Amino acid sequence: DARVTQTPRHKVTEMGQEVTMRCQPILGHNTVFWYRQTMMQGLELLAYFRNRAPLDDSGMPKDRFSAEMPDATLATLKIQPSEPRDSAVYFCASQRGPSGTDTQYFGPGTRLTVL
């Protein structure tokens, strides 16, 4: 049963520290999304990639957030420096292709707490 995996599942850190979250998309999926979920804002799209190239990162605070796909099996989301307002659950999702009809498969999320 193919799944999107995310590490770590939980992260507690102090303000100012660097945080790196990792995602392994489903093998063969060429589109990867990063979302952030909070009680106040709901589910927000931060960035997404197709064939490892960034297509849209307009939802991401550019000054502190960065997203990359070093290879087809790994996507990373980095926050440097982290702030308490970054506390949220971060989800990665992957999709087989570019079609608007394709299903997104979500990972279990990384729960980030910034103290």
Stretch that binds another protein, among 11-19, 66-74, 76-84, 95-103 (CB under 8 A): 95-103
Q: Does 101 bind another protein (CB under 8 A)?
A: yes
DSSP one-letter string for 35-102: EEEETTTEEEEEEEEETTEEEE-TTS-TTTEEEEEEETTEEEEEESS--GGG-EEEEEEEESSS-TTS
Q: Does 93 bind another protein (CB under 8 A)?
A: yes
* Contact in structure between 94 and 101 (CB atoms under 8 Å): no
Number of residues that bind another protein (CB under 8 A): 23
| DSSP-based three-state secondary structure for 14 | coil
Binding mask 19-38 for another protein (x = CB under 8 A): --------------x-----
Residues binding another protein (CB under 8 A):
4, 33, 42-43, 45, 48, 50, 55-56, 91, 93, 98-109
